Amino acid sequence: MERVQESSAGQVENDEESSTSESEYQHALEVVFDEDNAKRRKSSLVSSENPQLAQQTAKKRESTSCFVHQLLENQRRSRRSQSTIIHNEDRLCDKTPDMHNQAVHSRLLTKRQLSEMAVNVRELSKKLGSIRLKLKVKTIFLLTKAHDSDLIGLTRDITEWLLSKERDTLYTIYVENTLEHNRVFDVQGLISKDPSHEGRLKYWNNELCKKQPHLFDFAITLGGDGTLLYASWLFQRIVPPVLSFALGSLGFLTKFDYADYQDTLTTAFKDGITVSLRLRFEATIMRTQTARDDRMHDLVEELIGVEAENNLTHKPDGSYTILNDIVVDRGPNPTMSSTELFMDEKFMTSVQADGVCVATPTGSTAYNLAAGGSLCHPENPVILVTAICAHTLSFRPVILPDTVVLRVGVPYDARTSSWASFDGRERVELHPGDYVTISASRYPFANVMPQGSSSEDWIGSISRTLNWNSRQKQKSFKEWDEQTMEGMSGRSKQ
């Protein structure tokens, strides 16, 4: 195991990588991509973001780069020099948005850009699997189940330990704002033990996580897989490395025992961490601009046909970054839903079912599993599509590459609306003519892993939690030999 160590000058030294300044690995993970032509439908090219804010975000990219950013930047620059001629030849000047000055959604990327982004993530994931990142952690984000009194007590214990002056670093700890007046957490009791805790114990809310994700150097969760999913939901873009203590039911994603939290955190901060990059999806709701009662329109024609100039058929209405799955189902309707699937610019199929589950490899053991989908190792760069109770004998789950843009839409002639949910949250109604775009997000989820093989850990997880392929072993045959024959012969004579 190769280790990345911190030098006295505050830099990271690696035998194979060039020295990187301390500021380059102080923040979380974001994938960047080359500028290229955008050959997507115009309705998918509409951006709901403030252009000035987008430009500011692009300008800040280099100043907020982490160690991971630096690796990606080196790869991006080397590829840019090799592909400049091709990019210039393929550019469609009259239809290409200025991606350099905009915070572009992954649904707006071309096939080449999505492929390049995916390759960068895979190469980076391999590097991170063989090194230990030693981060200078100063600000820690703590997340727990705010309604569970037992977990609140454990959160108080770990907070008090981190705030102690016995630590090598005086950490600043952020806990959920609902704990400020919680009697079990007892903020006043913590401060009375050491008045210095007051200035280093702070509180986060959803807005802070959304607007200032770079504020946190490290995240710790206490709970189960649902708590980790909530952390992913809070950090819709930039995500600090997340270390999870298993205090839930199953624990596919929570790898550390809380009983050993002191040793675990001491080792993580002193010797470094191993990070697994988990693929996340970006999902955008696209609303039809056609009259609801106009059933003469065809969603297939709108999504694969050619639009007239300045006549956009759809506009975006909110984007979400998810770690597990997007589900489009019938919702409260008593009848099955009708949906249509599109892959890039091609129509795939129509689905008559209770719904459709589109899962990441991480989410393959969740709703996807219950719907009959495949189990998938989290390092596979794929999109899993599974119908929920399909009213057909021939529909089978399909696995698509993460370089495609998938669309799940409700046809104009559907009898009822459908409903979309994102990691089990934000239930949204999809009217006839609306659809959801799903693509690989350029903001992967950095999950801190124990030392060892991730493949062995994953197999152990599904065996332990799901009793995967658990069966009583078949008995072996007892071979006949001469002594056995003689014994049988003697008993027959008697």
Kindly state the DSSP code that residue 260 receives in the 8-state scheme: G
| Residue whose tokens read 């600043």 | 172
Which residue, 471, 470, 457, 456, is CA-closest to 251?
457
Tokens of 63: 């100043």
Element spanning 52, H or E? helix 51-60
Tokens of 201: 């114990």
Residues 6+ apart with CB under 8 A from 177: 203, 204, 205
| Residue whose tokens read 């949910």 | 421
Query: Which residue in 36, 225, 402, 423 is the catalytic one?
Result: 225
Burial string for 227-243 (b: 16+ CB within 10 Å, else e) reads bbbbbbbbbbbbbbbbb
Catalytic residue status for 148: no
Q: What is the 3-state secondary structure (H, E, C) of 413-435?
A: CCCCCEEEEECCEEEEEECCCCE
Q: Are strands 425-430 and 418-422 parallel, antiparallel or unpaired?
A: antiparallel
The Cα–Cα gap between 389 and 416 comes to: 17
The Cα–Cα gap between 249 and 148 comes to: 14
Residues 6+ apart with CB under 8 A from 298: 411, 412
User: What is the distance, to the nearest Å, from the Cα of residue 133 to the centroid of all Cα atoms in its chain?
Assistant: 20
Query: Would you please indicate which residues are annotated as catalytic (active-site) residues?
Result: 225
